[in-house]
Each structure stands twice: as C-alpha cells, then as structure tokens.
C-alpha cells in the first residue's frame, strides 16, 4: 500500500494523527520529517512514547526522506508521512521529484501574522504562496483535519474564513 496520507500538522504526532487518522487507516507506521527532530534523540523518544506499541515511527530530515521515500511507498503496511510546516512539505515535494501526488493540510494553527482560513488553518501570505507552489508541482492540496470532515480544496481554502 502506498503511504496513505502526506500531512502538514504543526502539532506533529498527536491525538488526531494517532487516533483520528490512525485507527480508520489502520496505520502501522508514521514517517516524521523534520530536520530538527531528526537530530534529537530526546525529541524522537518523546514522539515514540506518544504512539501505541504496534505503530512504528521513523525520523528523517527532508533530504533523507526524499531519498528513502520510495521504500516507504512500497511498504505493504499502511503509513502516514508527517511534517510540521508548509515550508518543509514544499522542500520535500520538490526533492521527492514527483513521488508525492497529494498533500493534506491538517493543522496550521494561529500565530501572529497569520489569517484564519479554517478553524484549524491559519496562513501567512508566504504560507499561502507555499501551498500554491506545492500545487504547481502537480500535487493535489486540500485541507482536512479529521477523516469525517470534508476535504477543502486549495482554491477554496485560500479564500475561506472560519465562518464559511
């Protein structure tokens, strides 16, 4: 089975990922792509302790992830790839050379300078452009926090407000 979900979520591994997506998809592994976590044993242990024992977690920098992505895509187990921000996903998509065809915006929360687009997506102008850049690489970008929610296409996301 190919990697089931390529997700941008600034909380990285948390309840929505492990339970909300993990159980319906039957996830057996998570690939966490983050240049800082990839070199921190303590951070890696923190995230490993957040998942059930039957779920494996692998940590990679963007460069490493791009080079081993095909291996994960050929893994028979259901898996999820996770990054913490749009810039990281943009770099990964570029380095993966067409191997990523769909990206899920799962959680980009409020911080100064960001505009609310959905209840769980707040974007700066640069981040909006980052998502457009990902889409220009032929990637289907949509926002969806949990499996039961409607996937909001990128064009709609970028003109949305939380009251829509």
Partner 1 sequence: MSGDGVRGIVAGHGTFAVGIISAVEQITGRGAMLLPVSNSGLCLDDIQETLARAVDTSGARIVFTDLPAGSCTMAVRRMIRARPGMALVTGINLSLLLDFVMQDDADPIAAVQTALDRGRASMAIHGA
Binding of partner 1 by 15 (CB under 8 A): yes
Q: Determine the Cα–Cα distance for residues 76 and 2; give it in Å rounded to an integer.
A: 8
Binding of partner 1 by 18 (CB under 8 A): yes
Tell me if 3 sits within 8 A of 80, measured CB to CB. yes
Of 4-12, 92-100, 133-141, 144-152, the segment contacting partner 1 by CB under 8 A is 4-12
Non-local CB neighbours of 108 within 8 Å, separated by 6+ positions = 8, 9, 10, 85, 86, 114, 120, 121, 122, 123, 127
Binding of partner 1 by 50 (CB under 8 A): yes
Query: Quick count: other Cβ atoms within 10 Å of Cβ 44?
Result: 17
Minimum CB distance to partner 1 smaller for 72 or for 122: 122
Binding of partner 1 by 11 (CB under 8 A): yes
- Residue 164's SS3 state is coil
Candidate list 6, 29, 47, 58; residue touching partner 1; CB under 8 A = 47
Q: Which residues bind partner 1 (CB under 8 A)?
A: 10-15, 17-19, 42, 46-47, 49-52, 107-111, 119-120
């Amino acid at each position: 089975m190919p990697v089931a979900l390529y997700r941008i979520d600034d909380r990285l591994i948390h309840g929505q990922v492990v339970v909300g997506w993990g159980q319906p998809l039957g996830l057996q592994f998570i690939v966490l792509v983050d240049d800082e976590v990839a070199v921190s044993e303590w951070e890696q242990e923190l995230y490993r302790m957040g998942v059930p024992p039957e779920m494996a977690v692998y940590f990679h920098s963007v460069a490493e992830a791009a080079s081993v992505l095909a291996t994960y895509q050929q893994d028979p187990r259901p898996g999820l790839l996770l990054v913490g921000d749009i810039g990281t996903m943009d770099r990964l998509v570029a380095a993966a050379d067409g191997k990523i065809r769909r990206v899920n915006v799962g959680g980009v929360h409020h911080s100064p300078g960001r505009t609310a687009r959905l209840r769980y997506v707040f974007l700066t102008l640069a981040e909006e452009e980052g998502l457009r850049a990902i889409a220009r690489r032929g990637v289907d970008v949509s926002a969806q926090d949990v499996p039961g929610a409607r996937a909001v296409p990128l064009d709609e996301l970028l003109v949305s407000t939380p009251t829509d």
